[in-house]
Structure 1
């Protein structure tokens, strides 16, 4: 079915972009005087302060090591829309997570361990009667033309911070998130300044738009990403549409709470797992043709 194919196409993109939002835009080791950016001169004190807070927010959040997280994501392509909701816990440093995901009216048990996604649908068997399926997120991401090395790599965070300057940060106002006072900022990241920015620019355009809400400790409480991602055209695509890669519109909202919570992300027993990475990528290619 085409909807299954669209899900397969979307999974690599969604996995990479979720990771970019999680690990991107973190702090670096530059002195504060160098962090402000070129437009900080001339008395733009409030603007500079907002930029500094946003650039340091990811470091301050990851210092908590873990948190509870909820994710609401909507993916749309070729007239189809997939909405998913997730609730669980995340290890910021390792990139591992445990989550219950609700999609198409089904509740799915999900784990991410060392860049491998494991999913279990109650009452459903996969290849060989196994109860869990696994998808190599790094391999799936690379099949979509994105650099899988960006997945869960905290070492990349400094590079994302350097891609944010004063002109990229706008303070929107004050909001309450789950009863917590927060400051809302709109952020626009220059994609060309990111690692492998030329390649990523072809997928998402010149800028990466985000909204972030920071609490009184400078940590993330909410972040929202609205964007259009171009999936690469299949080699088997018809001549009349081969020059028009599929576009996936994505909206993702992530909320963080209970910092320091325990995260127990373990891979299921090998005998219970079927690797469906190749099948998922094949379905994605068929959807683009």
Structure 2
């Protein structure tokens, strides 16, 4: 589960980073609140649901690589910004190559050794020191800043994989079945107990005692789709920050084409600007 957790985190954080760069101010509203839909039956309890969801991360990671799509919706102050991503990911170490689309813009994204690289549109490069084509964010350092209670709030829906640690027998139910990208799946709905997660104190202040998550598993117990919704209340936020004090972040991730080739390289150092810890400053 650990490997897949880092893979999902690395793959999805890019959409959040793009939103943090200001796309929220030019957003529209999306009416599909259930991701890509799919017919489901009435909810019913399942004795083996908890074990199925917990083992799904390991079973998915065993495939080593996959094609991944994601959709991140961030809603605040009556506006909703959507970011869509499509590409390939190494489920073992999180390296990935994706194209992120948001606010009418497309951004090439790579994750290499837990460092996020994004190639900005030409009109945005002038806003970055050095006017270089690529920015980079060290995900490990960014996570450390969040966990230490910095002004960079936990608005990372890619936390979804690690949420499995908070799943217990009493809060897992089988919702029904659905077809995801042509594959028959079983859908489970879980309520994650935040007290069982790392960084509990800060996370609980921001999202409350529980977080809802839905997981769609195929016949081999692998994750085909996962959706997590976080209602976030930022804490200890400086007044200079323009980020809304309350927001809802919903992320939908889908995996397909397991075993696909993944070949990701970091861009040349001379073409990158390190923006680790500086995204929040750009919003002031």
TM-based fold match above 0.5: yes
Distance 1:85 1:259 in 2: 20
What's the counterpart of residue 91 of structure 1? Answer: 90
Instruction: For residue 166 of structure 2, give the secondary structure of its aligned residue in structure 1.
Output: coil
Separation in 1 of the partners of 2:76 and 2:143? 18
2:23 and 2:103 in contact (8 A); partners too:
no
Match of 1:26 in 2: none
Contact 1:169–1:186, Cα closer than 8 Å, also in 2: yes
Deviation, 1:260, is: 1.2
Residues 23, 102 of structure 2: 8 Å contact kept: no
Deviates more, 1:176-185 or 1:127-136: 127-136
Deviation of 1:71 after TM superposition, in Å, equals: 0.4
Contact kept in structure 2, 1:233 and 1:246, CA below 8 Å = no
Structure 1 counterpart of 2:113: 114
1:1-289 paired onto structure 2 within 5 Å: 7-8=20-21, 47-124=46-123, 125=125, 126-145=128-147, 161-236=164-239, 246-284=245-283, 286=284
Greater helix fraction, Structure 1 or Structure 2:
1
Count of aligned pairs: 236
TM-score normalised by L of structure 1: 0.72
Q: Please give the secondary structure, in 2, of the residue aligned with 1:277.
A: coil
Question: Residues 199 and 233 from structure 1, CA distance in 2 versus in 1: closer, same or farther, beyond 3 angstroms?
Answer: closer
Distance 1:193 1:60, change over 3 A: same
Shift of 1:160: 5.3
Decide which structure has the larger Cα Rg and report it. Answer: 1
Task: Give the TM-score taking structure 2 as reference length.
Answer: 0.74
CA distance in 1, matches of 2:101, 2:238: 33
1:79 Cα offset (Å) = 3.3
Instruction: Report SS of the residue matched to 1:102.
Output: strand
Shift of 1:229: 1.6
Judged with a 3 Å threshold, the aligned counterparts in structure 2 of structure 1 residues 160 and 249 are, in CA distance, closer, same or farther, namely closer
More displaced 10-residue stretch of structure 1: 200-209 or 227-236:
227-236
Contact 1:140–1:281 (CA under 8 A) maintained in structure 2: no
Report Cα offsets for 1:173-230 as digits up to 9, x if no partner: 0110011000011011111011222222112111121000000000000011122122
Unaligned runs of at least 5 residues, structure 2: 1-16, 25-44
Give unmatched runs, 5+ long, in structure 1.
Answer: 12-45, 152-156, 239-244
Structure 2 residue matching 1:58: 3-state secondary structure: helix
Query: Partners of 2:144 and 2:23 in 1: how far apart?
Result: 13
The CA deviation at 1:75 is 0.6
- Residue 30 (structure 2) aligns with: none
